[in-house]
Amino acid sequence: MLRLALCLGLAGLLSAGLALAAERRQPSELGDVEVGEIAAGLEHPWALAFLPGGRQLLLTERPGRLRLVSLDGQVGAPIAGVPSVFARGQGGLLDVALSPGFARDRLVYLSYAEQGRDGMAGTSVGRGRLSEDASRLDGFEVIFRQLPRLSEGLHFGSRLVFDHDGFLYIALGENNQRPAAQQLDKLQGKLVRIRPDGRVPEDNPFVGRDDARPEIWSYGHRNQQGAALNPWSGRLWTHEHGPRGGDEINIPVAGGNHGWPRATHGINYSFLPIPEAEGEAVEGTIAPHHVWKKSPAISGMAFYDAARFPAWQHSLFIGALAGQALIRLLLDGERIVHEERLLESLGERIRDVRLGPDGFVYLLTDAANGRLLRVGLAGD
């Protein structure tokens, strides 16, 4: 009996070891990919932002928690001073971004779902000053609200990106209210451009129009959950969920109409056509830069321009929720010339993708027991 127990125990250890090895090393076209777990037990983590020095990061959990996490796996207690969030459906605490001047001002920007007095919700953005011990956000203030609020729990977006001139872009969803994405007096389905304190830049494309919100940069978007600056061109890229099919990447144009719901490659979840759809290509709208006929359900976006893994240079990494993969797109200039699906055997929904200062790619998995993962090429 003792020998049997020892054998069973050894078999269990070997099985666990093999499972760990299988998870830590995954095949790819460019060689094996190594996956390392930094932290687990995170409740639906949504976004991360590295602090200066690259050894610590801020991480959001959708129920409304902001945490400090170190790359040695230490997960801090929830940081105080975070606003109350509408944590229903797809709502909650969403993106996090650091001020371009964080080293001197310590300002942290958060996007989150906020409920109004009528019970409807929209995406809001605010900022607060991270204390020196990183235990709290001081003086948190709202600098942007998506008005009117039209969501009952769906399609908040959102991603926050500062450009090289210090303007803040906010990629928004249309709150599952399709026509609103085409209505310029509403902030649903829009890419917004503001100053870091919330003021509207005078050169925004709709400034001075009585029938349009001045914050709007582009419109006709559905549910944008990825945005990043292309490091070679300096242009902002965004991506958005289609309905049943039609996930797309856009390079937003100032004042541009990017189509939804008039132009789409998808159909309704009921398998019926989108009522407002006029076709895949509609005059007066801008075609997507890239489209998936079958939706991976994309979230998170990071361009790879680090020296650590030369084989990944000029790649764009995107997470897939329904597709449960890390998508690598190869770029030739701004053209997408090849696609590869990585980490499919992990079987996890990938919510956020970031390039770390160390040249590794960092992922958040969307689950009640979500994880922070570090990904790189083996042997490099």
The span from the CA of 150 to the CA of 155, in Å, is: 10
In sequence order, the β-bridge partners of residue 36 are: 374
Catalytic residue among 44, 155, 221, 290: 155
Distant-in-sequence, close-in-space partners of 143: CB < 8 Å, separation ≥ 6: 125, 126, 127, 194, 196, 197, 198
Q: In what order do the strands lie in the sheet with 247-250?
A: 223-229, 236-241, 247-250, 290-292
Task: Identify whether 155 is a catalytic site residue.
Answer: yes
Using CB atoms within 10 Å of the CB of residue 269, give its burial: 0 to 12 exposed, 13 to 18 middle, 19+ buried. Answer: exposed
The span from the CA of 342 to the CA of 361, in Å, is: 12
The span from the CA of 354 to the CA of 333, in Å, is: 21
Q: In what order do the strands lie in the sheet with 137-145?
A: 93-98, 107-115, 121-130, 137-145
Contact 138, 129 (CB under 8 A): yes
Nearest Cα neighbor of 373 from 338, 348, 336 is 348
Name the residues annotated as catalytic.
155
